[in-house]
Amino acid sequence: MERTILFGEIKGVSQFDYPMVCHYCDKVLSLITFRYFEEDRISVCPGCDFKHRPKTQITMPISFSNFDQFFKCSQRWSWFQQGLTTNMTDARRRRGGVLLHDVFHEYFVNLKGKRPKKKDIPALVKTEFKLAWRKSPILSLEKEIKTSCNNFIKMEEKRWIKERDAYIPTFTEQAIIALPFKGIIDWYEKTGIIRDWKTLRWFVPLKDSYKRQALIYTTLIRALGKEVKQIIFEETYHQKSVVINVYPGMDQELKGLVQHYKTSVENRLFKKVKTRVCNRYCPYQIRCEAQDQGQTLWKIKR
């Protein structure tokens, strides 16, 4: 497999182990990368690296998380597609989110289509949580996960009162493919309500992400021939709901985003988007800063 790597990402490798001029244009290198295919390694300047590297491919169908990450920071998305790191998110937080989604899903499955008594909701949810936690505990996030679960109970008790006739969903955790997209709908009710659980603490505004997810999930549900009126994002940790009502022109808006996505990838037009969380959570922080400063990772780490 061919990759592009900055010096310092492979232990024991320094820039002096390779030629200080570009393999393609003989330019003296300041920001050095090297490419390798099997055992052959060559030094390449960023300009030639751009020209000669295989184009990033779009994998179909497109997941929401993949699509959303592109619009958050397409440069980060590109590096991930090249295989320059293994995960876009903290593995612990991803596992925590999966655990809570499983708990909420099993709670509704075990209701078997019957609306529970309000006083029974806490016990039913906690029973599912204990089973899931015993199977796969995440001790470093225990407080956050348990807070989110307890808040889910409070939110369901309120919803039990307000939505007496629409408390039971038509389905939960349903995988749907409707090209070019795929997704898993957390909760859908036949009157046209989609719910998506955001289970852990959030450190960045999600307004734009919510809008993109609403566009995609509306398309997925409509592909099943079902109605959509509202998409509700349930931030269980923060005990907050964000509602997006379906509006005219959503299909065309999504088509415009897809066209921009495809054009940018085909022409390799990737843009860095700097935010206040870059230094805390981005796995490409050092690579990104090195390019901005015209340095190599080897120099920074020395």
Q: What are phi and psi of 243, to 5 degrees?
A: -110, 130
Closest CA to 36 of 10, 79, 5: 5
Contacts with 17 (C-beta within 8 Å, 6 or more apart), sequence order: none
Residue 140, classed as helix, strand or coil, is helix
Q: Which residue's entry shows tokens 């509306």? A: 218
Shortest CA distance to 149 belongs to which of 70, 87, 222, 239? 239
Q: Using one digit for the tens of pLDDT, what is the confidence trace for 248-278?
A: 999 999 999 999 999 999 888 899 988 877 7
What is the full per-residue pLDDT of the chain (302 aa) written as tens digits? Answer: 334 444 444 444 444 445 556 666 766 655 445 444 333 455 666 566 555 555 556 677 899 999 999 999 998 898 888 766 655 566 788 899 999 999 999 999 999 999 999 999 999 999 999 999 999 999 999 999 999 999 999 999 999 999 988 999 999 999 999 989 999 999 999 999 999 999 988 766 678 999 999 999 999 999 999 999 999 999 999 999 999 999 999 999 999 999 999 999 988 889 998 887 777 778 788 778 777 776 655 444 43
204 in Cβ contact with 277 (< 8 Å): yes
The pLDDT score that the predictor gives to residue 36 is: 41
At residue 157, φ and ψ (nearest 5 deg) are -65, -40
Paired with 6 in beta bridges are 33
Per the listing, tokens 């612990």 go with 92
Q: b/e per residue, 90-107, with b = 16+ CB within 10 A?
A: eeebeebbebbbbbbbbb
Structure tokens at 137: 């505990």
CA distance 237 to 93: 13
Judge whether 231 and 218 are in contact, CB under 8 Å: yes
Number of H helices, E strands in the chain: 11, 9
Q: Provide the pLDDT for residue 295.
A: 60
Name every residue whose Cβ is closer than 8 Å to that of residue 117 and which is 6 or more positions away in sequence.
Answer: none
Tokens read off for 146 = 């348990």
d(CA 109, CA 114) in angstroms, rounded, equals 10
Structure confidence at residue 80 (pLDDT): 83
Residue 293 confidence (pLDDT) = 72
> Hey, CA dihedral for 246, 248, 250, 253, is it positive or negative?
negative
Q: Is 138 exposed, middle or buried (0-12, 13-18, 19+ CB in 10 A)?
A: middle
